[in-house]
């Protein structure tokens, strides 16, 4: 099952649950130190040197043991980056999710998948289209991925639950939201799979939903948007899918319905027209079309002593180049004219200190007074989206 020792799996979960360590920093720390254990030992000093006032607290062994026990109690399966059966489509993301829980049938995560997303307050016709599309894609051998939200998501799950449905949850894998989907949730874990990056028992926060959307698109070969307003989570999912190299499809809708303006706008900007399953099947083969995971672009080429010294020299210069507006990390490298590994090490240290935010897609910004969207830091707000 795993190419990792039990201790390394434990330590990787502990590292992933540590304050200020999100997917980007997690990947960078593993590249730099070679193991989660060594990274955990180095964290307090890295954060202190980068200007963190309060000590950086790593997740305790007791907290991790409690999380593992809670997962075992509900029959959930933990996937850790480095496991031999970690889903390749997620391992190929930049950066990949460090860990996630799966409840139900984890084998389904290796089936070719298509995501179907759309409005929570979807029209009856949109919900029927989503349900029929999901049923037809399931019959063609695809698993259908969605977020178990009201409207289009729920319709997609209902259409595919008997053939293979994957629900990506914003809270813990045992957090049923919205509550009225309890019966649907039970159907999915009985015949499909529910997955989540978050710990067992966690209730979703507003900042969890964009991160959830990244996993929805990451699990899929393509994303179909059925009905979406111009400012909606479905369009975030479509954007993330495009950034991940996935195909983006959209169903056309009435120009008189504001719920269709986002999906129609996707078509205006190059999304593939979808009027039924045949449009998706004509583009996607039944086999995953995934590239092999690449070496991290900022992988260390210096030994630790050299890397630490270079990061120390570059850290404040890198910070001065940042603003609250995200910028590409490679642009920071270009401006500093230093080895990419050293610049990335400095940025990771700034993120551990709470002075910078590292984001998927190779972006970084100075930590704003109150952040929003997808960031590398672990969210703390308890409000729902």
Query: For the residues 278-295, what does the mean pLDDT come to?
Result: 67
In a domain, 338, yes or no: no
**376 confidence band (pLDDT: 50, 70, 90):** low
Query: For the residues 300-321, what does the mean pLDDT come to?
Result: 85
CA–CA separation, 108 and 66 (whole Å): 27
Lowest mean pLDDT among 111-115, 166-170, 202-206, 298-302: 298-302
155 and 36 in one domain? no
In a domain, 369, yes or no: no
**What integer pLDDT is reported at residue 3 of this predicted model?**
76
**222 confidence band (pLDDT: 50, 70, 90):** very high
Query: For the residues 163-167, what does the mean pLDDT come to?
Result: 96
Tokens of 303: 């030994």
117 and 76 in one domain? no
For residue 262, pLDDT beyond 90: yes
Digit-coded pLDDT (tens) for 121-162? 999 999 999 999 999 999 999 999 999 999 999 999 999 999
12 lies in which domain range?
A: 6-84
Q: Which residues of 109-147 are buried (b: 16+ CB within 10 A; e: fewer)?
A: bebbbbbbbbbbebbeebbebbbebbbbbbebebbbbbb
204 and 127 in one domain? yes
Q: Helices 208-218 and 233-243: crossing angle, nearest 10°? A: 50
For residue 385, pLDDT beyond 70: no
CA–CA separation, 81 and 99 (whole Å): 6
Query: For the residues 49-61, what does the mean pLDDT come to?
Result: 90
241 and 181 in one domain? yes
In a domain, 191, yes or no: yes
Digit-coded pLDDT (tens) for 183-210? 999 999 999 999 999 999 999 888 888 8
Digit-coded pLDDT (tens) for 3-34? 799 999 999 999 999 989 999 999 999 999 99
For residue 298, pLDDT beyond 80: no
In a domain, 340, yes or no: no
In a domain, 383, yes or no: no
56 and 25 in one domain? yes
**What integer pLDDT is reported at residue 205 of this predicted model?**
87
Residue 101: strand pairing partners = 78, 196
For residue 263, pLDDT beyond 90: yes
**What integer pLDDT is reported at residue 294 of this predicted model?**
45
Residue 264: strand pairing partners = none
**What integer pLDDT is reported at residue 144 of this predicted model?**
98
Query: For the residues 44-58, what does the mean pLDDT come to?
Result: 91
**What integer pLDDT is reported at residue 302 of this predicted model?**
63
222 and 79 in one domain? no
For residue 367, pLDDT beyond 90: no
**What integer pLDDT is reported at residue 307 of this predicted model?**
86
170 and 52 in one domain? no
**What integer pLDDT is reported at residue 161 of this predicted model?**
96
**What integer pLDDT is reported at residue 231 of this predicted model?**
86
**374 confidence band (pLDDT: 50, 70, 90):** very low
**What integer pLDDT is reported at residue 384 of this predicted model?**
35
For residue 372, pLDDT beyond 60: no
26 and 164 in one domain? no
In a domain, 373, yes or no: no
Residue 273: strand pairing partners = 250
**289 confidence band (pLDDT: 50, 70, 90):** low
267 and 221 in one domain? yes
249 and 154 in one domain? yes
**296 confidence band (pLDDT: 50, 70, 90):** very low
- Yes or no: say if 15 and 39 are a contact pair by the CB < 8 Å rule: yes
Q: What single DSSP character describes residue 179?
A: G
Digit-coded pLDDT (tens) for 171-182? 999 999 999 999
166 and 261 in one domain? yes
128 and 44 in one domain? no
- CATH number for 251: 3.40.50.450
Residue 359: strand pairing partners = 363
Of 281, 306, 331, which residue is a domain's last?
281
**What integer pLDDT is reported at residue 300 of this predicted model?**
41
In a domain, 109, yes or no: yes
pLDDT > 70: percent of the chain: 90
Of 226, 250, 281, which residue is a domain's last?
281
Of 259, 281, 303, which residue is a domain's last?
281
For residue 167, pLDDT beyond 90: yes
In a domain, 197, yes or no: yes
* Total number of domains in the chain: 2
């Amino acid at each position: 099952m795993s190419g990792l020792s039990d201790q390394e799996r434990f330590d990787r979960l502990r590292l992933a649950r540590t304050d200020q360590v999100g997917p980007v920093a997690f990947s960078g720390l593993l590249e730099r130190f070679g193991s989660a254990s060594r990274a955990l030992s180095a964290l307090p000093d890295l954060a202190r040197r980068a200007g963190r006032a309060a000590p950086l607290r790593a997740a305790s062994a007791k907290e991790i043991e409690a999380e593992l026990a809670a997962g075992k109690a509900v029959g959930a399966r933990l996937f850790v980056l480095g496991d031999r059966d970690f889903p390749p489509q997620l391992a190929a993301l930049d950066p990949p999710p460090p860990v996630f829980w799966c409840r139900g049938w984890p084998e389904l995560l290796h089936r070719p998948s298509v995501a179907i997303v759309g409005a929570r307050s979807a029209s009856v016709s949109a919900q029927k289209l989503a349900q029929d599309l999901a049923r037809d894609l399931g019959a063609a051998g695809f698993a259908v991925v969605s977020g178990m939200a009201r409207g289009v998501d729920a319709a997609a799950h209902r259409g595919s639950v008997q053939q293979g449905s994957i629900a990506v949850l914003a809270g813990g894998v045992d957090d049923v939201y919205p509550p009225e989907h309890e019966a649907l949730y039970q159907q999915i874990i009985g015949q499909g799979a529910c997955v989540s990056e978050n710990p067992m028992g966690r209730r979703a926060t507003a900042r969890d939903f964009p991160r959830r959307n990244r996993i929805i698109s990451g699990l899929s070969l393509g994303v179909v948007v059925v009905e979406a307003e111009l400012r909606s989570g479905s369009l975030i999912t479509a954007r993330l899918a495009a950034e991940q190299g996935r195909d983006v499809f959209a169903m056309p809708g009435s120009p008189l319905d504001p719920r269709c303006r986002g999906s129609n706008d996707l078509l205006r900007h190059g999304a593939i027209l979808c009027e039924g399953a045949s449009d998706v099947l004509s583009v996607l083969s039944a086999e995953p079309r995934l590239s092999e995971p690449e070496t991290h672009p900022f992988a260390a080429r210096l030994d630790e002593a050299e890397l630490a010294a270079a990061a120390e020299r570059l850290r404040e210069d890198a910070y001065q180049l940042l603003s609250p507006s995200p910028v590409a990390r490679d642009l920071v490298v270009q401006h500093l004219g230093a080895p990419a590994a050293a610049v990335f090490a400095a940025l990771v240290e700034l993120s551990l200190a709470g002075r910078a935010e590292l984001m998927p897609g190779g972006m970084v910004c100075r930590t704003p007074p109150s952040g929003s969207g997808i960031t590398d830091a672990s969210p703390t707000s308890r409000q729902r989206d």
